[in-house]
Amino acid sequence: MTAKTITTTPIDGQKPGTSGLRKKTRVFMGAHYLENFVQAMFDGVGGVEGKVLVVGGDGRFHNDTATQTILAMAAANGASRAIVGQNALLSTPAASNLIRTRKTDGGIILSASHNPGGEDEDFGIKFNMPNGGPAPEGVTNAIFARTKTLDAYHILDAAPVDLSQIGTTRLGEMEVEIVDPVAAYVDLMRDLFDFDAIGRMIAGGLAVRFDAMCAITGPYARAILQDALGAPSGTVTHGTPLPDFGGMHPDPNPTWAHELMDEMMGPNAPGFGAASDGDGDRNMIVGPNCYVSPSDSLAVIAANAHLAPGYKDGLKGVARSMPTSAAVDRVAEALGIDCYETPTGWKFFGNLMDDGRVSLCGEESFGTGSDHVREKDGVWAVLMWLNIMAATGKSVPELMQDHWSRFGRNYYSRHDFEAIETEKADALMSSLRGKLAGLPGQSIGPFVVETADDYAYLDPVDGSRSEQQGVRVVFEGGARFVVRLSGTGTSGATLRLYLERLDTEHLDLEPQAALADVIAAAQDVIGIAAHTGHDAPDVIT
């Protein structure tokens, strides 16, 4: 086994500001591409000599091959140990947990999250820090800069490691520890939630459906819901991770998790339904005939988290991404705890959690989690809901009604316009930015604009500043819309339009109807159809 240094040329790598690199799988399979990026990651974090790294991914196409490349490169770069999930599998929250509890120097997670997988779909890779969270912008910028100058990488010339057997082996000088990807995570969940009470509720007749969408959470959900909590086999559907996710698009929203939605809206709906995404960090919660919007889910969890043993002393504070609805703000106010607003992306929550300011975070995009790890966590959110149901004896629809009667209802929706030509999307954004200064005071439909700006964030912990994080237009009375371009796509541009309005009187409206005036006002200001030719959203959540 010899370490080789291979001469190469810079790649079209990672845009600054995104926490991982996502590209078409075939791009990653191209000569030297993955290798270049991995070397840039190693260099960007100051080298891996003598370091311990966690490695694993969501099982999508190329996960296994890429893991072997990363191990051979870690060994050649002098890493002392790699902790790898059996068969190279690890959900994102489980990887975050291992990075933290094993006190490692960080980890590499292979996933394109909610993007489809397969040879002709998407692949991704990201570096997580020793705190278990995604690399902050300073580090991703350093990695990106390195991709532009890199001219060689180091790799061990060795046979692939057998990752199917749990135990420790060697790759050159580096130890490779192959661990059960599920066990430590199940222990963590047992510490946080009342498994006995949830088990009794299930034994008492609560039917649960968990759609793993042929992605990574299948083994985790089976171990927890079926093996530990006693739900019958078949509770977890699409429970085997497949390289192409069985053709499913593992994004847990009503559009892509339509099988689950059909069942939950049908006559024989189980009492509780949930779905998760490719890498296991997202969740969708559904009750019988009752879809829970992610912003509402965050607010309900904030109001009830103290019912779960791991949170019995209450929350330190909460944080939400800027486009997420203000439902959680109202709970925080009632609880007398701080509520932070951050740009989109989980990496912005890390400093707040590390600094002890918040213990619960969430995004409108089906991401919820706490300071138990430094990633959002789909299975965690499911268990939190089940724990709240077990402790209160209430169903999902009852919990929602109670919540809205107490706090009012923040009607909320996100409209996604996909596959827009990049130039048109950029032109739309700059034209919108150009209008902002003139908007305050203007009447649009029934509204008067109060403020209009391009959101910038000053991190209260490290003082770093992030600009242009979404255009927001707030009307007098609090209704608002937000517009930003997605940073996670791999082709063209996706425009996200976020819409919100608080109502403390009418609690049972259909959200699109409740938001009709806000939608019309947003379209009026932005002119999406005129700019892009798209006159209707592709996905509504």
Q: Which residues are catalytic?
A: 113
Sequence-ordered alpha helix ranges (H) in 317-455: 327-335, 347-354, 378-392, 396-407, 422-435
Window 255-284: residues binding ligand VG1 (CB under 6 A): 277, 281-282
**Amino acid in the structure at residue 220:** Y
When asked if residue 363 is in the footprint of Co ion (CB under 5 A), the reply is no
317-321 and 338-342: which strand pairing?
parallel
Which residue in 97, 365, 410, 413 binds ligand VG1 (CB under 6 A)?
365
Number of residue whose CB is nearest Co ion: 113
Region binding Co ion by CB under 5 A among candidate stretches 269-277, 287-295, 333-341, 422-430: 269-277
* Phi, psi (degrees; rounded to nearest 5) at 414: -120, 130
Q: How many residues does the chain have?
A: 541
How many C-alpha atoms does 365 have within 13 Å on its Cβ side?
Answer: 18
Structure tokens at 461: 């912990």
- Is there a contact between 47 and 77 (Cβ–Cβ < 8 Å)? yes
Instruction: By CB under 6 A, tell whether 253 contacts ligand VG1.
Output: no
Report, in Å, the least distance between residue 217 CB and Co ion.
10
Query: Residue 282 gets which letter from DSSP?
Result: B
Which run of H or of E encompasses 218?
helix 217-221
Region from 38-46, 108-116, 427-435, 442-450 binding Co ion, contact rule CB under 5 A:
108-116
Question: Contact with Co ion (CB under 5 A): which of 105, 122, 194, 279?
Answer: 279
Q: Stretches 15-23, 248-256, 276-284, 436-444: which one binds Co ion (CB under 5 A)?
A: 276-284
- β-sheet bridge partners, residue 476: none
State both tokens at 221.
């959900």
Identify what 126 binds: Co ion, ligand VG1, none; CB under 5 to 8 Å per kind.
Answer: none
Closest to 540 (Cα-Cα) out of 417, 432, 415, 419 = 415
Among 77, 104, 113, 469, binds ligand VG1 (CB under 6 A): 113
Q: Is 194 in the site for Co ion (CB under 5 A)?
A: no
Q: Compute the distance between CA of residue 256 and CA of residue 308 in angstroms, rounded to an integer.
A: 30
CA–CA distance, 25 with 347 (Å, rounded to integer)? 24
Shortest distance (Å) from residue 218 CB to Co ion: 15
Residues 485-524 that bind ligand VG1 (CB under 6 A): 486-488, 496
CB 321, min distance to ligand VG1, A: 6
Instruction: Indicate the residue among 56 and 288 with the shorter CB distance to ligand VG1.
Output: 56
Our CB check for Co ion shows the closer of 113 and 325 to be 113
Q: Compute the least distance from the CB of residue 487 to ligand VG1, in Å.
A: 4
> Is residue 235 close enough to count as binding ligand VG1 by CB under 6 A?
no
**329 part of the interface to ligand VG1, by CB under 6 A:** no
Q: With both helix axes pointing from N to C terminus, report the angle between 33-44 and 137-147 in degrees, rounded to the nearest 10.
A: 130
Angstrom CA distances, 533 to 177, 333, 419, 424, stand at: 53, 42, 11, 9
Provide the binding-site residues for ligand VG1, judged by CB under 6 A.
113-114, 277, 281-282, 321, 344-346, 363, 365, 367, 486-488, 496
Provide the binding-site residues for Co ion, judged by CB under 5 A.
113, 277, 279, 281-282
